[in-house]
Structure 1
Amino acid sequence: METVEIFGIQFILSVIVFALIARWYVTPWLSEKTLQVALAILILPHAFRHIGLTFLTPAVVSDAMPSSFAIAAGYGDFASGLLAILALVALHRNWGPAIGLVWIFSIVGSVDLLNALRQVEAVPHFGAAWYIPTFLVPLLIVTHVMVFVRLVRRSQPANKSIQSHSASAHHAQ
Structure 2
Amino acid sequence: MSPATILNIHLGLGYVPWLLCFAAYIWPRLKSMDSFEAQRAIAMLHSFRFFGLVFLIPGVVGPNLPVGFAVFAAYGDFATGLLAMLTLLAARRPSLFWPLVVAFNLVGVIDIVGDYYNGTMLDLPGHAGQLGATYAIPIIYVPLLMITHVAAFYLLARSRRHRPAAT
Q: Do Structure 1 and Structure 2 share a fold, with TM-score over 0.5?
A: yes
Match of 1:135 in 2: 140
Tell me which residue corresponds to 1:54: 54
CA contact (8 A) 1:40 1:88 kept: yes
* Match of residue 89 from structure 1: 89
Q: Is 1:113 the equivalent of 2:115? A: no
Residue 16 of structure 1: CA displacement?
1.5
* Aligned 1:21-36 pairs, distance under 5 A: 21-36=21-36
Moved more, 148-157 or 65-74: 148-157
- Residues in 2 aligned to 1:98 and 1:115: alpha-carbon distance in whole angstroms: 25
Give the whole-Å Cα distance in 2 for the aligned partners of 1:157 and 1:44: 24
Q: CA deviation at 1:94?
A: 4.1
Sequence identity, in percent? 36
Residue identity opposite 2:110 in structure 1? V
Query: Is the contact between residue 43 and residue 143 of structure 1 (CA under 8 Å) also seen in structure 2?
Result: no
Give the structure-2-normalised TM-score: 0.87
Consecutive unaligned residues in structure 2, runs of 5 or more: none
Which residue identity lines up with residue 124 of structure 2 in the other structure?
A
In the aligned structure 2, how far is the partner of 1:26 from the partner of 1:78?
25
1:122 paired residue among 121, 124, 141: 124
Match of residue 164 from structure 1: none
**Cross-structure match for 1:151:** 156
| Letter in structure 2 aligned against 1:85 | M
What's the CA shift string for 1:70-109, capped at 9, x where partnerless?
1111111101100011112223x24323111111110011
The answer for the alignment partner of 2:68 in structure 1 is: 68
Which TM-score applies when normalising by structure 1?
Answer: 0.84
What is the alpha-carbon root mean square deviation over aligned residues? Answer: 1.5
SS state at 2:95 partner: coil
The structure with more radius of gyration: 1
Shift of residue 69 of structure 1? 1.1
How far residue 156 of structure 1 moved from its aligned partner, in angstroms, is 2.4
Cα distance in 2 for residues equivalent to 1:143 and 1:116: 17
The whole-number CA distance in structure 1 between the counterparts of 2:8 and 2:124 is 13
Unaligned runs of 5+ in 1: 159-173
Q: Secondary structure at the match of 1:60?
A: coil
